């Protein structure tokens, strides 16, 4: 059984095929980073236009790479939300049209559920239940995962997501877009303890996050610090240390509260080396383990959507027949989607 996965929620066109016996058999991503770099962030209209140009050639490429043909595909999974509506509509339109033409089900997938399940594509996946930390450009969430499709939100960011704080701080440091990887690289050259930033919302109970104050503290420090390469690296180091420490404190709290030892970490920021190391240490000390996606499945990709779609279909979850054309820019995970804002 093969599921074609289509991801177009933001600035990557991601296409992949999941085979239920062999796993991911083909995967291709076209990143729009170069397209948006000059603007300092994603320009939604340009994102949609680029998805339109890339999506069909990329689908051909992936089907060829897999050695498959249209007849081998059994279902088409696509990101139905959350995300940029114009970008989502490109994937939804292509997926629904192919499904109609090929007489297959089209499966609308939640983007964050895709991220959440991506580490399960690796060897030796964790048993359920576990805690998932989702850290992307748009979301920071702690979720108790009982089984595929059974999610309980334990806490989330009340303002900026972790990735957003990385990107905004990187922008102030002149590191371009998207700033997360560049900021992490700069932090590796910084000395620890030269600057100190708050660990937001760790001094009160609960599992919510807030990263906008941290970003502001970093902005003020950058303005007032000496204009040297080392000072900028030291600030980057203090910023990354603060984000990592905050995420670790909340993960530990979630594991203790839920009496669990295993943690799954995913989303773009899960590519961060410092975070991986710290969460690995935290979980092994507790007698558990942390699971991460391979680097190319941390950021947006079609593989996670193909896999999440396959699992959704297996458990008899909704297909487009239930909803018609599905593109939902705002869609809380685990809830019924609604059209509109």
| Residues contributing to the site for Zn ion (CB under 5 A) | 136, 300
Which residue in 184, 221, 246, 319 binds ligand KG4 (CB under 6 A)? 184
Which residue in 81, 86, 155, 267 binds ligand KG4 (CB under 6 A)? 267
Between CA 314 and CA 21 the distance in angstroms is 14
272 binds, among ligand KG4, Zn ion, none (CB under 5 to 8 A by kind): ligand KG4
* Interacting positions 318-337 with ligand KG4 (CB under 6 A): none
Between CA 330 and CA 341 the distance in angstroms is 6
Closest by Cα among 256, 259, 250 to 278:
250
269 binds, among ligand KG4, Zn ion, none (CB under 5 to 8 A by kind): ligand KG4
* Residue at shortest CB range from ligand KG4: 268
Between CA 115 and CA 109 the distance in angstroms is 11
Pick the stretch among 159-167, 229-237, 285-293, 316-324 that binds ligand KG4 (CB under 6 A): 159-167
Which residue in 108, 148, 179, 329 binds ligand KG4 (CB under 6 A)? 179
Which residue in 44, 181, 213, 317 binds ligand KG4 (CB under 6 A)? 181
**Shortest Cβ distance from residue 164 to Zn ion (Å)?**
12
Considering beta carbons, is residue 136 or 270 the nearer one to Zn ion?
136
Q: Is the Cβ–Cβ distance between 121 and 22 less than 8 Å?
A: no
Pick the stretch among 31-39, 45-53, 87-95, 172-180 that binds ligand KG4 (CB under 6 A): 172-180
Helices (H) and strands (E) in the chain, counts: 11, 10
236 binds, among Zn ion, ligand KG4, none (CB under 5 to 8 A by kind): none
Considering beta carbons, is residue 18 or 166 the nearer one to ligand KG4?
166
Residues that bind ligand KG4 (rule: CB under 6 A) add up to a total of 20
271 binds, among Zn ion, ligand KG4, none (CB under 5 to 8 A by kind): ligand KG4
Q: Is the Cβ–Cβ distance between 14 and 305 less than 8 Å?
A: yes
Between CA 122 and CA 269 the distance in angstroms is 18
141 binds, among ligand KG4, Zn ion, none (CB under 5 to 8 A by kind): none
Q: Which residues, other chains included, contact 127 with Cβ-Cβ below 8 Å and sequence gap of 6+?
A: 262
Which residue in 96, 272, 283, 320 binds ligand KG4 (CB under 6 A)? 272
Interior/surface letters 95-124, b for 16+ CB within 10 angstroms, e for the rest:
bbebbeeeebbbbbbbbbbbbbbbbbbeee
User: Binding string to ligand KG4 for residues 276 to 315, with x set by CB under 6 A, is what?
Assistant: -----------------------xx---------------
What is the DSSP-derived secondary structure letter of residue 331? -
Q: Any contact of residue 82 with ligand KG4 (CB under 6 A)?
A: no
Q: Any contact of residue 14 with ligand KG4 (CB under 6 A)?
A: no
Between CA 132 and CA 43 the distance in angstroms is 30
Per the DSSP assignment, residues forming a β-bridge with 140 are 135
Q: Any contact of residue 5 with ligand KG4 (CB under 6 A)?
A: no
Q: Any contact of residue 155 with ligand KG4 (CB under 6 A)?
A: no
CB neighbours of residue 16 within 10 Å: 29
Closest by Cα among 264, 255, 148, 270 to 207:
255
Q: Any contact of residue 160 with ligand KG4 (CB under 6 A)?
A: no
Q: Is 238 left (phi over 0), alpha (psi -120 to 50) or beta?
A: alpha
Measured in degrees and rounded to the nearest 5, phi and psi for residue 162 equal: -60, -45
178 binds, among Zn ion, ligand KG4, none (CB under 5 to 8 A by kind): ligand KG4
Residues forming contacts to ligand KG4 in the complex (CB under 6 A) are: 10, 115, 136-138, 163, 166-167, 178-181, 184, 267-269, 271-272, 299-300
């Amino acid at each position: 059984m093969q599921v074609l996965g289509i991801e177009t929620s933001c600035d990557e066109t991601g296409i992949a095929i999941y085979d239920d016996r062999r796993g991911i058999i083909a995967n291709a991503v076209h990143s729009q980073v170069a397209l948006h770099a000059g603007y300092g962030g994603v320009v939604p209209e340009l994102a949609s236009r680029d998805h339109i140009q890339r999506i069909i050639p990329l689908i051909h490429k992936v089907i060829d790479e897999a050695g498959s043909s249209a007849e081998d595909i059994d279902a088409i999974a696509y990101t139905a939300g959350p995300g940029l509506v114009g970008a989502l509509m490109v994937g939804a339109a292509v997926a629904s049209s192919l499904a109609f033409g090929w007489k297959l089900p089209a499966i609308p997938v939640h983007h964050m559920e895709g991220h959440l399940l991506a580490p399960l594509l690796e060897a030796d996946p964790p048993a359920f239940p576990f805690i998932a930390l989702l850290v992307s450009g748009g979301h920071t969430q702690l979720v108790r995962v009982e089984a595929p499709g059974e999610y309980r939100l334990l806490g989330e960011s009340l303002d900026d997501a972790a990735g957003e704080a990385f990107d905004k701080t990187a922008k102030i440091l002149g590191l371009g877009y998207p700033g997360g990887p560049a900021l992490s690289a700069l932090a590796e050259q910084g000395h620890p303890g030269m600057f100190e930033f708050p660990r937001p919302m760790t001094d009160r109970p609960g599992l919510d996050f807030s990263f906008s104050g941290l970003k502001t503290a970093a902005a003020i420090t950058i303005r007032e610090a000496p204009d040297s390469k080392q000072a900028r690296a030291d600030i980057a180091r203090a910023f990354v240390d603060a984000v990592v420490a905050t995420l670790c404190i909340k993960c530990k709290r979630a594991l203790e509260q839920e009496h669990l030892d295993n943690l799954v970490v995913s989303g773009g920021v899960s590519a961060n080396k410092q975070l991986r190391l710290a969460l690995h240490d935290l979980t092994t000390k507790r007698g558990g383990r942390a699971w991460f996606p391979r680097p190319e499945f941390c950021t947006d990709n079609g593989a996670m959507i193909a896999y999440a779609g396959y699992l959704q279909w297996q458990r008899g979850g909704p297909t487009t027949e239930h909803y018609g054309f599905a593109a939902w820019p705002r869609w809380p995970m685990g809830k019924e989607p609604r059209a509109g804002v």
